[in-house]
Amino acid sequence: MSFDRLIKKIIETRNPSVAGLDPDISQIPAFIREHAIRNYGETFEAAEQMLISFNTALIDALYDIVPAIKPQAAFYEMYGWHGMRALKYTIDYAKRLGMFVITDAKRGDIGSTMEAYSKAHLGAAKIGKTYHTAFGADALTVNAYLGSDAIAPLSEVCREKDKGIFVLCKTSNASSGELQDVDVSGRTVYEIMGDFCESWGGTEYGEYGYSHVGAVVGATYPQQLSDMRKRLPHTFFLVPGYGAQGSGAADVAGGFDDRGLGAIVNSSRGIMYAYKKQNRPESEFAEAARDEALRMRDEITALISL
Amino acid sequence: MSFDRLIKKIIETRNPSVAGLDPDISQIPAFIREHAIRNYGETFEAAEQMLISFNTALIDALYDIVPAIKPQAAFYEMYGWHGMRALKYTIDYAKRLGMFVITDAKRGDIGSTMEAYSKAHLGAAKIGKTYHTAFGADALTVNAYLGSDAIAPLSEVCREKDKGIFVLCKTSNASSGELQDVDVSGRTVYEIMGDFCESWGGTEYGEYGYSHVGAVVGATYPQQLSDMRKRLPHTFFLVPGYGAQGSGAADVAGGFDDRGLGAIVNSSRGIMYAYKKQNRPESEFAEAARDEALRMRDEITALISL
């Protein structure tokens, strides 16, 4: 019931970053796409094979230097149940290699429905007298527009199974301010949400002082990220927006505490399609991803005290 | 690019209600559960068969008197990809019988991810040169905490494929007010979100004056529902909270316009488990659901001018 497992992995790899796995099959190496289509035709089965081939090669290249992956559910859902089967395969594969898995699904609903989502993504479903794990991530991103009803069932699973959640506070996208920056008697909506995170996290902190309720705070708003770090001392941050969304190490540095902990920075497209930026042949996509992950690690750790 | 298809079905059936299909396998008739476990053991395959057997029997009993179904994604996701296959089966089955399908998934993310969700739930995914439909609902519920970036990709699909979205404004749960009722210089957060819905809907209204951007406004807050009806003249409402969540016809009446249009009221547990409330044998669960749907229809239409 804290982010200790994740933090230990971060310390072990000396790398506070997470590889986002949001594969767009039109962007992955052509040989993977063509191989799958030769096997299965232009079908969902082929898409499933593409996702699995691409993801497992990336995980093989990253697992010893990157503490976590963050699959984005949408990029699997778009291929129907075959895509969801690829999501499960990806999660299992990464966990077997010791990685921490954050499913980025941004779920948020009323209490009875949130119980079902918590079973889907963090816990297990009961069939007869047997429990089965549907997706089984270590942490889940959550949208709390519905208030604490959306959080309570997840906290229960987090306590039972040593899992965590990341609640959307200040997201990395351009229009995030339309609602999140609105001022409410001196506090913005994202600050209100952040204060809720501190409160939902309770007072049982882990070894490093963080609760099981984290927050999503984007790298694209560095001042807000740094302010939020000071404001929310027990809330671990998931920081999107680095790389393809335009932010660099200087933008994320304010998200860390004095020990260089307290945050994990995501890069998805920057790592997945590193071979393009590095002008390397498609066959080297996994090595290129590893090189980019190392570069990102070094760039960030140069600025923090981890 | 409007809710005309849904509204025509509502007029045709003279029934502004939608059957929520959020099946909890521990609540469904034992004979369905036992049959599936006999076939498949206590597995996800068995859960899939339970969901399909239960849902198709309900759809058979309802399709000529209820215009729409609303499957809640969480109750399928919790059974992994087998559950998602049951969701797809349910959607296809209801559509073949002419029902309008609202997938209640409350998705909300940054633009590139929302494109993937729009392909998953409303549009189609491209594999090679072939398009495939992952889930293929007629409308999707959406969480717009991330602002208009979360809406734009959906509006595009809605225009191309004559689909709709329902944006969460004032939800039906007890804690909805924690964020949604917060006052921002004279407007609540849910009113701000509602005003966004009017603006995101554009100015191309359908035959009945509604755009393709609807709103979720709960029956459990009848005064707010009635105020929002007046405030948002071009925004069609999805109204949860009737039945198991405690509201009745008088609470939803304010959600309709002068023609008895402008809203569709959801009942999930009230319809799915009607046989329990009616003290009827499990074998009559589908007939009991039909009787409850007719009772609900009559109770609501008695108070509106449809």
Which of B59, B127, B46, B66 lies closest to B93 in space, CA to CA?
B59
The CATH number given to B4-14+104-299 is 3.20.20.70
Write out residues 261-290 of A within 8 Å (CB-CB) of B.
Answer: none
Q: Please indicate whether, in this complex, the C-beta atoms of B77 and A171 are within 8 angstroms of each other.
A: no
Q: Please indicate whether, in this complex, the C-beta atoms of B125 and A149 are within 8 angstroms of each other.
A: no
Contacts 24+ apart (CB under 8 A), B48-52: B48/B79, B48/B82, B48/B83, B48/B85, B48/B86, B50/B23, B50/B25, B51/B23, B51/B25, B51/B75, B51/B76, B51/B79, B51/B83, B51/B86, B51/B87, B51/B90, B52/B86, B52/B89, B52/B90
Q: Mind listing the pLDDT tens digit for each residue in A211-259?
A: 999 999 999 999 999 999 999 999 999 999 998 788 999 999 999 999 9
pLDDT given for residue A256 in this prediction: 98
pLDDT given for residue B244 in this prediction: 79
The CATH number given to A4-301 is 3.20.20.70
Q: How confident is the model at residue A1 (pLDDT cuts 50, 70, 90)?
A: low
Q: Mind listing the pLDDT tens digit for each residue in A190-199?
A: 999 999 999 9
Question: Could you tell me how many CB contacts below 8 A there are between chain A and chain B?
Answer: 235
Distances (CA, A) of B115 to B44, B105, B161: 29, 15, 14
Q: Please indicate whether, in this complex, the C-beta atoms of A175 and B85 are within 8 angstroms of each other.
A: no
User: What is the complex's ipTM, to 2 decimals?
Assistant: 0.97
Is the pLDDT at B245 greater than 90, yes or no? Answer: no
The average confidence (pLDDT) of chain B is: 97
Sort out which chain B residues have CB atoms less than 8 A from A145's CB and list them. Answer: 108, 143, 145, 168, 171, 179-180
pLDDT given for residue A196 in this prediction: 98
**Three-class SS state of A180:** helix
Cite the active site residues of B.
106
Residue extents of the structural domains in chain A: 4-301
Residue from the list A37, A175, A179 with its beta carbon closest to the beta carbon of B128: A37
Lookup: tokens for A205: 């902190």
pLDDT given for residue A245 in this prediction: 81
Average pLDDT value for residue range B276-294: 98
pLDDT given for residue A244 in this prediction: 79
Is the pLDDT at A275 greater than 80, yes or no? Answer: yes
Is the pLDDT at B28 greater than 80, yes or no? Answer: yes
Q: How far apart are CA B245 and CA A157, in angstroms?
A: 24
Q: Mind listing the pLDDT tens digit for each residue in A69-126?
A: 999 999 999 999 999 999 999 999 999 999 999 999 999 999 999 999 999 999 999 9
Burial A88-124 (b: 16+ CB within 10 A, else e): bbbbebbeeeebbbbbbbbbbbbbbbbbbbbbbbbbb
Q: Please indicate whether, in this complex, the C-beta atoms of A168 and B146 are within 8 angstroms of each other.
A: yes
Interface residue B190 vs chain A (CB under 8 A): no
Residue A191 DSSP label: H
Interface residue A130 vs chain B (CB under 8 A): yes
Residue from the list A134, A146, A176 with its beta carbon closest to the beta carbon of B171: A146
Comparing alpha-carbon positions, the chain A residue that sits nearest to B193 is A179
